[in-house]
Structure 1
Amino acid sequence: MHPLRDAQLGAFTFFASALPHDVCGSNGLPLTPNSIKILGRFQILKTVTHPRLCQYVDISRGKHERLVVVAEHYERSLQDFLKEGNPVSLEKVLQIAYEALEGLEFMNKHGMVHRALAPHNILMDCKGKVKLAKFGLYHVTDHGADVDFPIGYPSYLAPEVIAQGSFHPTDPSHRVTPLPSGPKTDVWSLGLLLFELCVGRRLLQSIDISERLKFILTLGCMDDIITVLAEEHGCLERVKELPENVLALLRKCLTFHPSKRPTPAELLQDPVFEGVSCLYTSFQKPVGLFSSSLRCAQLELPDDISELCKDDGDDYLSERSIDEVYYLWCLAGGDLEKELTNKGIIQSKPPVCTLPNFLLEDGESFGQGRDRSFLLDDTTVTLSLCQLKNRLKDVAGEVYYPLLEDEQSSLPHSNSSNELSAAVTLPLIIRERDTEYQLLRIVLFDRLLQAYPYKKNQVWREARVDIPPLLRGLAWAALLGVEGDIQAKYDTIDKDTPIPTDRQIEVDIPRCHQYDELLSSPQGHVKFRRVLKAWVVSHPDLVYWQGLDSLCAPFLYLNFNNEALAYACMSAFIPKYLYNFFLKDNSHVIQEYLTVFSQMIAFHDPELSNHLNEIGFIPDLYAIPWFLTMFTHVFPLHKIFHLWDTLLLGNSSFPFCIGVAILQQLRFRLLANGFNECILLFSDLPEIDIERCVRESINLFCWTPKSATYRQHAQPPRAPGDNNGFGKTSSYFSSDYQDLPKTDLSREPLKLSELKAEVSPRISAEDLIDLCELTCSGHFKTPTKRTKSSKPKILALDIRSSEDFNRGHISGSVNIPYSTAFGPDGELVPCAATSTLQSFRGRVIVVISHAMKTAAMFTAHLVKANYPRVCILDGGINKMKPTGLLTVPSPQI
């Protein structure tokens, strides 16, 4: 969106038609409220950006089908010229005509018409340029079918619109949509407006509305409509003084028959504009973030470079985009309904005053007449930015222009720098509502994303702090490595030809996150269908599984007006976190995933693992929807956003940590209940604290060795330069274990039966060596700060016999022979070695043996004894022999 500059934010409101509550659609579901339909259609208006159109910003839905629209606004309009009562100069009339036609032509290219042209809807900016307002009302209301008022003003409606009449179907489920108006209807309205400017007075305003409509329809019998209008309003002399080319333009606009009337595009080529068109350059839409074109191709520097350094004051906020300003206005306490109420646009009444009429037998009536507050009042209220500017008055100007190369703190030195620094430590939900902090984050991320992919690593680094909600969609795309001309790729996919999956998609969409107004709208359903179908068609080796719609929902919500980006993000996300989950036969992939998850539960919370295993409450019963949809089937969207902000920073093993963190939030209830109670608990999952879940997931992730979550069916290593068409799907900083180069010390794949037989995970010899080195150097990164004098974080536990241990072992390892470690009841036999083991409870314990079955049984005993973070060295001591790292104790003399 373009900067706010001298524009203002304006809001107007209207009501959608109410639907009966006892009527269902053909599918048996309740009818979608008209306000929801309008809200869905409105979204595309945010992308219709042109210098001659007022930018739409937002729409909100209130009670009783009320809708409030926020858009760019200017106080001055053509109505001010007409109020002066003087004819406007011909040069100004031609300028207004040309600029208005430019806006109308651009709308027509997007399949829209204005249909509501009137003097107060043609605004003038500070430079005297035309800005068309309320051009989207006809589009969002489905040509007026979803509201109880006509779109347009009788004085300016074209004859064919008046002749068509209005439509008010009695059965909303089988309504007849009015015949849509074409671009030529706006040409008639513009012709009347130009005529008014030329003569300096309003037309048809003093005539009764019914007579006014009859007069317009009778114009079809006249040879010269311009002369008839001039005679009717007593301005024939003024009309005769107009140049012939201007009269010819007015006659073309006011051609009665639509077939003979030109379109806005045709009128722009009229010779009358030869001296005007040379002053304008054709509008070129800025290149988007994901495109094959150079974003800097249109960059122009002024002839005098000092112009860039000219101080235009300290109103830095006006240089920000209009959607940013509105977002910050809302954070600063802005309330749309309150603003409209203060201006008298919204008038609330006590319920007793809204009772309908009650008629007695004698004809006497009691009660209220029609509530006029539900009629259309298209007054636009200017939203005051004083409160926002006052809130940001102490923010230094450097915040608006951050230096990206500065490796120090991104927080500038200002009067509020201490407050901004302190805000980082606050809970995320508070930070997202802090106006100053969000300004800082939005400006910084905006600059970083403009430099994407060059600043990809810095985007990742800043995302570790948090992601501003306003830019979450683009930030996620950057974290997923989406690059290239995504629109061209999306356009090549056939999304229209029927396929067998269509029926299942049609069934799933009406059940997917339908509490959200945007996704439940008809436009949301259409976009859902197209993105899902594009993914299915472009991945012929995979199939549609239930849950894919839930997986698509966050991407579609954040990129509602960019289906290509939603598809690209989804196509990058699935291979990274759900590789081969959507195979036709995915049982082996799911079973391996659940087995590794079960081992992660035992690794981090053995007490909970033991209890769940004893009652038979295995992950197969509750965790498949978690991982198949990456928790989107479990949590509402607002929680998914915060969860995925962190998920996208981790590798494919991070979902295991999220799953364990969810169980740990419920652990006391799980430990206290049996199988039936646990089933009921998960059938309606209790409220989960997502911020705590994210925090604990990171803690669990830091304690988990990389190779512990190795899966044979995970995404294989990608070749250098392989970007799957959308860029790398994993961050350099969060690479998977599978992406690391394979050596003789790497983990070996296991059969699923062998994997299921082991309670604890295996780790590779590489991980063991790295952990030992990190322990020695004191750089093992854990969530809690520890001093150098604290205990080591890892214990290498060698369970071979004493003789084998003395022939060679890892330096610092503890020897507890398996044959002497446990008593007849499975408890550890007290000795010096077991005391050492007890002192390491809570650290990572790596069990080392020469036989994997022996190591598996030993770890099973430790887990049974509630020892956390127990794992097995894959390959045993034999993997360590070629490294030369084994030591032999010196002989005692």
Structure 2
Amino acid sequence: MFPLKDAQLGAFTFFASALPHDVCGSNGLPLTPNSIRILGRFQILKAISHPRLCQYVDISRGKHERLVVVTEHYERSLEDLLKERKPISPGRVLQIAFEVLEGLEYMNKHRLVHRALAPHNILLDCEGHVKLAKFGLYHMTGYNADVDFPIGYPSYLAPEVIAQGMVKSADHTQSDRSSPSGPKVDVWSLGVMLFELCVGRKLLQNVDISERLKFILNLDCVDDILTVISEEHGCLEITMDLPKDVQTLLRKCLTFHPSTRPTPAGLLQDNLFSEVSALYKPFRKPDGLFSSSLRCADLIIPEDLRTFCKEDGESFGQVRDRSFLLDDTTLTLSLCQLKNRLKDVAGEAFYPLLEDEQSTISPSNSNHELTAAATLPLIIRERDTEYQLHRIVLFDRLLKAYPYKKNQIWKEARADIPPLVRGLTWAALLGVEGDIQAKYDAIDKDTPIPTDRQIEVDIPRCHQYDELLSSPEGHRKFRRVLKAWVVSHQDLVYWQGLDSLCAPFLYLNFNHEALAYACMSAFIPKYLYNFFLKDNSHVIQEYLTVFSQMIAFHDPELSNHLNEIGFIPDLYAIPWFLTMFTHVFPLHKIFHLWDTLLLGNSSFPFCIGVAILQQLRDRLLANGFNECILLFSDLPAFFKNMCVFPLDVSQVDGYLFLGSVSSTASVELLDDNELSIKSGSSRESIRLNELKTEVSPRISAEDLIDLCELSGPTGSKMPTKKTKSGKPKLLVVDIRSIEEFARGHISGSINIPYSSAFSPDGDLIQCASTSLLQSFKGRVVVVVGNVVRNAAEFTAHLVKLGYPRICILDGGINKMKPTGLLMVPSPQI
């Protein structure tokens, strides 16, 4: 980033060409509006930063194909110098030429051509340095194909551009083509402007446009164009008095044939600028977050921090009627409201200290107003200017210190993630590191593969309500990222749904395909392990079975009802988990959902699935199979039309029981207010057929020991963790016989022998132990036995009776025997 100094924000507007309504593309779908095409191409311009270019900020699409572009802007330009009608000194001319060529060369490296160079588009900052404006207009309009006006100004257009005329294709279905104008057209335009600066007035201003063009084209047979133009305008004497290096520069720029005219890069290497170039430091692009280079942040604290809040005047644009032709006016946007809002922000807020990981570094603790803002709903926080300023500055500092500050990034992300840095923050949470661009470039994304056809079919149906992803540029990037993933994961295959998984990453990293690919490549092994195998039926069935157990754990009443009517997860949940809910929710809601998802492990999607069912609980309990099928067939529209974010995972109250399939991680039991995920718990692999016979999930012995706070090889123990009411958080029910229970049991457990627990009708037989169990209804109950099948049947009975939070100790009592934590009661004397 570069100091803005006296920079302001400016806006200019234009209309894209309207398309015929009766024409469809080759896929049978309506044509993409030209305004959306322009919006897609514009995105790369936001990523181009250089001291000689006006930074593009954003673009907005309005009605009737209107587009509004916001960019860095300055009030003064070369036009103002020409209005003074005084020749500019040769040294100043060389300086201006050098700075313009610097900007043009950098554009050319990004395959951009200005094509609209004119004095009013070469702005000057407070120090008189050049800033090229509207340099992306030619690129974003598809090289003039998507608008009804020409890009460029007759007095400054190169001869080859004039000879070519305004070329527009009649084929509205064609994809973006290569630029018909090369870098040398800007060199001619620069030469004309430099000549005007040297003589102190504009050329050909009192001549008809057709006469101007005819004059330029007739220069073909002229050997010395500079002399002819000087004679034509009665300024030959002024021209001949110019220093030789200035005359040489003008002659090189005003070379008629483009084959012999130099490029901007070629002119910069000329000895003409040997003295001028010594005054400038070579531009070095800052290292990105993910690169092979070492990074450092050149942080300079200004002497007077109050300069951040210095106010200035307010400017208003002239009201004019606008047609569908280009109105070249740039209106200055007032920043007074923003500056007034931030005038009380302390300068130190722009340089937050990153404390140690044990302390709270959230800026919401800095003052009362921010603390209050931090308690507001997320959608309000994201629109709070001052709150977002503190969060963005903090995350920017943390991300620059990634991966060293990875834990603090994770800690801050638990509060919220600023939308402006969401893409980089997700990458950090996923552990993306290294030179990802080199890895991405090494993947062959061009050679045809069998999957190409399916990708082409899926992309036009993937989140196409979004203007950015529906643009041709969005489709092109979709194809490249998806193909890169398929090619680089030979052991996996493309399944429908992969495009939906790609969409959030591509949207957030539209100008960084390599980062979108790296994030998706890190996301899939963590949350969709083996989902994209050629035969993924076993994995999906295992996943759905565990999900059924999660429903029974949290809401046995709903689980019993859905099982009775035959509405099983196989009928509705496969798209949920295969796409991590991107098939259900629109993008703006997926962002909030994944902000939370990325903080958890591979088991957390189960809780999200349960939370969705909780949102629909009343409707599901009141309806039968057919009504539930209809409800879920329209589920995306149901959630899309909700005015607030629909998921509240905290509705799955008490404990978040995170059950994983046996092929991934372990079963874990965590407090609802604690989203940190423990690792290292072990569990035995379970056969799918056996897993399907169990209604309730399993908990590992390690997690049970931790939750009961058992310790010591002698059987000594610490008190069991308790709720706010003083009662233990969980109850261990040992279903072995009385004799086996007496030979050793878990401290604090109760004995309800399986053989005598239930009546023939399935009701609990009343006794002291079953009464205690009933008093624990609503808390976690862990069933322990010798035989897993008995424990599974026991828990199934409890679920039928409406007991929530029922689980099985994985491996039974045998898993506890080697720990030395079983307690044997003392003999009675």
Fold similarity call, TM over 0.5: yes
Task: Determine if the alignment matches structure 1 residue 316 to structure 2 residue 308.
Answer: yes
1:127, distance to aligned residue in structure 2 (A): 1.4
1:198, distance to aligned residue in structure 2 (A): 0.2
CA distance in 1, matches of 2:710, 2:84: 81
**Given the alignment, which residue of 336, 340, 343 partners 1:390?**
340
**Given the alignment, which residue of 757, 776, 783 partners 1:847?**
783
CA pair 346-498 structure 1, distance change in 2 beyond 3 A: farther
CA pair 692-17 structure 1, distance change in 2 beyond 3 A: closer
The letter for the 2-side match of 1:181 is S
Q: Which moved more, 1:649-658 or 1:168-177?
A: 168-177
**1:377 partner SS:** coil
The letter for the 2-side match of 1:159 is P
CA distance in 2, matches of 1:447, 1:317: 21
- What is the match of residue 631 of structure 1? 581
Cα pair 2:506 2:516 within 8 Å, conserved:
yes
**2:765 partner SS:** coil
**Given the alignment, which residue of 450, 461, 468 partners 2:418?**
468
CA distance in 1, matches of 2:151, 2:530: 51
Task: Determine if the alignment matches structure 1 residue 703 to structure 2 residue 655.
Answer: yes
Task: Determine if the alignment matches structure 1 residue 246 to structure 2 residue 246.
Answer: yes
The letter for the 2-side match of 1:818 is Y
CA distance in 2, matches of 1:282, 1:3: 17
1:811, distance to aligned residue in structure 2 (A): 1.6
- What is the match of residue 361 of structure 2? 410
CA pair 606-597 structure 1, distance change in 2 beyond 3 A: same
Residues 379-422 of structure 1, C-alpha deviation per residue, up to 9 Å, x if partnerless? Answer: 111111110011112222222111101654435699x8111001
CA distance in 1, matches of 2:246, 2:129: 20
Task: Determine if the alignment matches structure 1 residue 800 to structure 2 residue 736.
Answer: yes
Name stretches of at least 5 consecutive residues in structure 2 with no aligned partner. 668-673, 712-716
**1:172 partner SS:** coil
1:887, distance to aligned residue in structure 2 (A): 1.9
- What is the match of residue 592 of structure 1? 542
CA distance in 2, matches of 1:45, 1:570: 24
Mapping for residues 219-298 of structure 1, pairs under 5 Å: 219-296=219-296
Cα pair 2:363 2:390 within 8 Å, conserved:
no
Q: Percent identical across equivalent pairs?
A: 76
- What is the match of residue 83 of structure 1? 83
Cα pair 1:396 1:413 within 8 Å, conserved:
no
CA distance in 2, matches of 1:205, 1:463: 59
1:825, distance to aligned residue in structure 2 (A): 1.1
- What is the match of residue 440 of structure 2? 490
The letter for the 1-side match of 2:308 is Y
- What is the match of residue 358 of structure 1? none
CA distance in 1, matches of 2:691, 2:11: 62
CA distance in 1, matches of 2:564, 2:6: 69
CA distance in 2, matches of 1:766, 1:715: 14
CA pair 378-552 structure 1, distance change in 2 beyond 3 A: same
Aligned-residue RMSD, C-alpha: 2.5
Cα pair 2:708 2:721 within 8 Å, conserved:
no
1:484, distance to aligned residue in structure 2 (A): 0.4
Task: Determine if the alignment matches structure 1 residue 49 to structure 2 residue 41.
Answer: no
Task: Determine if the alignment matches structure 1 residue 885 to structure 2 residue 821.
Answer: yes
- What is the match of residue 616 of structure 1? 566
Residues 790-825 of structure 1, C-alpha deviation per residue, up to 9 Å, x if partnerless? Answer: 211100111222222222221211122222221221
1:17, distance to aligned residue in structure 2 (A): 0.5
CA pair 517-345 structure 1, distance change in 2 beyond 3 A: farther
Cα pair 2:701 2:815 within 8 Å, conserved:
yes
CA pair 525-774 structure 1, distance change in 2 beyond 3 A: farther
Cα pair 1:11 1:382 within 8 Å, conserved:
yes
CA pair 400-655 structure 1, distance change in 2 beyond 3 A: same
CA distance in 2, matches of 1:246, 1:629: 63
Residues 635-675 of structure 1, C-alpha deviation per residue, up to 9 Å, x if partnerless? Answer: 11000000000000000000000000000110110000011
Cα pair 1:56 1:72 within 8 Å, conserved:
yes
- What is the match of residue 364 of structure 1? none
1:121, distance to aligned residue in structure 2 (A): 0.4
- What is the match of residue 774 of structure 2? 838
CA distance in 2, matches of 1:693, 1:662: 8
The letter for the 1-side match of 2:779 is R
- What is the match of residue 687 of structure 1? 639
CA distance in 2, matches of 1:520, 1:281: 41
- What is the match of residue 356 of structure 1? none
Cα pair 1:576 1:715 within 8 Å, conserved:
no
Task: Determine if the alignment matches structure 1 residue 760 to structure 2 residue 696.
Answer: yes
Task: Determine if the alignment matches structure 1 residue 674 to structure 2 residue 624.
Answer: yes
Name stretches of at least 5 consecutive residues in structure 1 with no aligned partner. 302-307, 319-324, 326-338, 348-371, 718-731
CA distance in 2, matches of 1:779, 1:424: 34
Higher RCO (Cα < 8 Å, 6 or more apart): 1
Cα pair 1:411 1:421 within 8 Å, conserved:
no
Q: Which moved more, 1:524-533 or 1:398-407?
A: 398-407
Residues 682-706 of structure 1, C-alpha deviation per residue, up to 9 Å, x if partnerless? Answer: 0001227797765425855x71455
Mapping for residues 321-332 of structure 1, pairs under 5 Å: none
The letter for the 1-side match of 2:293 is S
Residues 443-463 of structure 1, C-alpha deviation per residue, up to 9 Å, x if partnerless? Answer: 000000000001000000000
CA distance in 1, matches of 2:176, 2:760: 83
Q: Which moved more, 1:804-813 or 1:255-264?
A: 804-813
Cα pair 2:292 2:435 within 8 Å, conserved:
yes
CA pair 681-176 structure 1, distance change in 2 beyond 3 A: closer
1:181, distance to aligned residue in structure 2 (A): 0.7
**2:328 partner SS:** strand
**1:871 partner SS:** strand
- What is the match of residue 423 of structure 1? 373
Cα pair 1:226 1:250 within 8 Å, conserved:
yes
- Structure 2 length-normalised TM: 0.94
Q: Which moved more, 1:465-474 or 1:234-243?
A: 234-243
- What is the match of residue 861 of structure 1? 797
Q: Which moved more, 1:243-252 or 1:640-649?
A: 243-252
CA distance in 2, matches of 1:309, 1:289: 22
Residues 420-450 of structure 1, C-alpha deviation per residue, up to 9 Å, x if partnerless? Answer: 0011111100100111110010000000000
Cα pair 1:145 1:177 within 8 Å, conserved:
no
Cα pair 1:74 1:123 within 8 Å, conserved:
yes
The letter for the 2-side match of 1:128 is G
CA distance in 2, matches of 1:149, 1:5: 34
CA pair 561-176 structure 1, distance change in 2 beyond 3 A: closer
**2:421 partner SS:** helix
The letter for the 1-side match of 2:317 is K
Cα pair 1:398 1:412 within 8 Å, conserved:
no
Residues 10-61 of structure 1, C-alpha deviation per residue, up to 9 Å, x if partnerless? Answer: 1111111010112111221111111111111111111221111111111111
Residues 160-207 of structure 1, C-alpha deviation per residue, up to 9 Å, x if partnerless? Answer: 111111134455346997961111111110000000000000111111
1:300, distance to aligned residue in structure 2 (A): 7.1
Q: Which moved more, 1:559-568 or 1:684-693?
A: 684-693
Tell me how many residue pairs correspond in the alignment.
Answer: 812
- What is the match of residue 671 of structure 2? none
- What is the match of residue 192 of structure 2? 192
Mapping for residues 494-513 of structure 1, pairs under 5 Å: 494-513=444-463
The letter for the 1-side match of 2:90 is L
- What is the match of residue 596 of structure 2? 646
CA pair 595-248 structure 1, distance change in 2 beyond 3 A: same
